[in-house]
Amino acid sequence: MSAPSDRWFAAILAVLVGVTFLPVVGFDLVYDDHLVLTDNGYLRTRGDLWKLFDGRAVEEGVPDAHRPVSVVWDVVTYRLFGLSAAAHHGLSLFLAAAASVLGFAWLRRRGEPPWTAFVAGAVFSVLAVHAEPVAVVSFREDLLAFVLAVTAACLVERRGTWRPPVASACFFAACQTKMSVAPLALIVPAAQLGGVGRRDPARARTAAAALAFGLAVAVLHRIAVLGAFSGQGDDPRSLAHTHGWDVGVAAGFEAAAMGLGRLLLPVGLAPDHPDRPATWADPAPWLVAAAFALAAGWCLVRSLRGPLPRAAFVAGALALSFVPALGFVPLRNVEAERYLFVPSWIFSIGAAAGLTLVARRLAPRVGVMAAAAPAFALVVVQGAAAQAHARDFRSESRLWEVAARRAPGSARAQSLAAIQQIRRIETYQRAERPVPPWMWARARAGCHSAARLDPHEALADMCQGRLAVAERRWEAAFAAFLRAYDKGLGRADRALAAAAHVALDLGDAQRDEALAQIAQFLANHPYAAGLWAARGRIRHRLGDPDGALSDLRRARRLAPERWDVVIWGLELALDLGDAAAARDLLASVHDDLVERAPAPDRATIWRRIRLARTLGLATSDPRLVHGVFPP
């Protein structure tokens, strides 16, 4: 940054992000945070990072392994913060502020006037579509990728032999975090042809070479590791898999139009948007595709003729920025607001150019303050909408309650909202309190609605299974959980673990089937802590203490924050007649870990410990104490 005023502008942008999104620091871990952080056993292992870069992590089912830099980031932040939701949300807030400040710095290096760059940064700081990547920890990959990509863009704005290679490395890391930043490899050189600031063809060639090299290495590595470009190519939940590639692309173009609408007006925001199939028989995909093609063509032709006009640059860059989410590669949730992060930056540049132009023309007649009113109003409206939308992600129950209400056509939202209701029912049941009839009615309606909306949705079967467990219909629950597993549930380990727990109350055939399925799954997915714990539980009930101890030890190492593994370890010690070991086990874990267990479970454990000690069963077995909970 060239002047002290730039530092003040940057500080104001950081404060603006903080004022808008500061409440997220008090939010829970929600959405995919449990998949990426809470239940991700890979984060707790040491010496396995190399698997991210040779394909082993993908084969072993590590979440987001096709984005290795994102996983490395999760490993580092977990080691620093554990599962502290406040710390992780604070880091997301820092990344959001860094994204705004770096974007402002890049515009200034491009030669943009301070106020134009500041307005672009201010609009970008408070856009309502940013609520999802800022408020959901597992979606901070969009923030990190953008920060790395804009750092690369800033590096190629200065002379120096070391800058292009470092820029290539930064852009490689950005693409390995989230491939949605790939269009910046073309957008940044286009900006240097006059689309943003001064025209500099030599700098554009340097930037194009540096960023293209980083992108090419990232793409080649992904293909070498995955055998394909997309990490979701074989996902049975993508539209390309369920309806065909052409339907997925048509839906992507329609989703792009919806995304542009949400950028212009912060309405229709929701925590979840259903993947709505579209066909090329509909006019909307053709209209959007034609508009994008015209915009890209206009940008290309004008860049070849001379300085690129701002309007042509913004139109072409917007079209390019939507390409990763258009469905050319299979994707889920094509309408997700996190896919709008790069397009939102281009939108902010265009909005700033328009607002400053209006302000310059109005200022001589109405004064500077009145001329700045449209920009101020846009920032206030977007910031208020962003803060309101961010509150939708405050907790898991609120998230899916809001999602089910705003996206009534989403089978996923209806399923997860009903599962939240079933959890409340289970709380009543554990406390031996009568469950209000309206709770049962709401849970059943949600599960049935999800199954009707999308018979292929595995979460609908998980919902039916959880409901059957609450109703004590074990056979139906077991069948529903296995259906969810067969349909390719994203959390297949949860479906198998749930089936295994239900199998304990069924016959030998179901237990054997569950054990066989678990053994096959764990052979290929060794970091599934929940399945190790579930198999340990079954082995315990089947009279195999050594096998149970081995599985619980593995589960404990992969998920040291799970209270259920602690409780099952205590039960194993007590069933072996070792009350002293159980007492020592309790002393070896943090009090808050055991306190998270349901009160009836804690009371039962303490009652059994006292009874065993009364009977004189008090010889502590070190194998138990240090087996389940290694020192």
For position 5, what pLDDT does the model report? 81
pLDDT of 625: 46
* pLDDT number for residue 1: 46
What Rg value do the Cα atoms of the chain yield, rounded?
27
Those residues whose C-beta lies under 8 Å from the C-beta of residue 618, and which sit 6 or more positions away, are: 579, 580, 612
User: Is residue 256 scored above 80 in pLDDT?
Assistant: yes
Lowest mean pLDDT among 50-59, 72-81, 216-225: 50-59
User: Average of pLDDT values for 122-126?
Assistant: 96
- Is the pLDDT at 488 greater than 80, yes or no? no
Given a cut of 90, is residue 129 above it in pLDDT? yes
E strands, 82-126, in order: none
Q: What is the DSSP letter of 228?
A: S
> Are the CB atoms for 57 and 65 separated by under 8 Å?
yes
pLDDT in tens, 32-47: 898 899 888 899 887 7
Report how far apart, in Å, the C-alpha atoms of 73 and of each of 61, 94, 493 are: 18, 14, 24
| Segment among 56-60, 182-186, 590-594 with least mean pLDDT | 590-594
State mean pLDDT over 381-390.
94
Those residues whose C-beta lies under 8 Å from the C-beta of residue 148, and which sit 6 or more positions away, are 69, 170, 171, 173, 174, 177, 181
Comparing CA positions, the residue from 187, 106, 184, 181 lying closest to residue 145 is 181
pLDDT at residue 296 greater than cutoff 60: yes
3-state secondary structure 123-183: HHHHCHHHHHHHHCHHHCHHHHHHHHHHHHHHHCCCCCCCHHHHHHHHHHHHHHHCHHHCC
Distance spanning both ends of the chain, measured CA to CA: 51
Question: Is the distance from CB of 103 to CB of 150 less than 8 angstroms?
Answer: yes
* Beta-sheet strands, E only, within 417-456: none
Residue indicated by tokens 């048509």: 250
The encoded tokens of residue 170 equal: 């930064």
CB 95 within 8 A of CB 140: yes
Query: CA 450, CA 115: separation in Å to the nearest integer?
Result: 50
Query: Quick one: pLDDT at residue 631?
Result: 41
In this prediction, residue 194 has a pLDDT band, given cuts at 50, 70 and 90, of: confident
Pick the more confident residue, 448 or 530. 448
| 618 — pLDDT class (breaks 50, 70, 90) | very low
pLDDT at 352: 93
556: tokens are 């404990």
Highest mean pLDDT among 135-139, 547-551, 584-588: 135-139
Please give the structure tokens belonging to residue 133.
């990547």
Q: Which of 130-139, 574-583, 588-597 has the lowest mean pLDDT?
A: 588-597
- pLDDT at position 498 over 80: yes
Alpha-helix residue ranges (DSSP H) falling in 191-332: 201-226, 239-242, 245-264, 283-305, 310-321
Q: How far apart are CA 430 and CA 153, in angstroms?
A: 56
* Separation between Cα atoms, residue 506 and residue 35, nearest integer Å: 29
For the chain, what percent of residues have pLDDT higher than 70? 89
* Structure token pair of residue 526: 């060794």
H-helix or E-strand containing 450?
helix 437-453
CA distance 71 to 41: 12
3-state secondary structure 356-408: HHHHHHHHHHHCHHHHCHHHHHHHHHHHHHHHHHHHHHCCHHHHHHHHHHHCC
With cut-offs at 50, 70 and 90, classify the pLDDT of residue 592.
Answer: low
Return mean pLDDT, the chain: 86
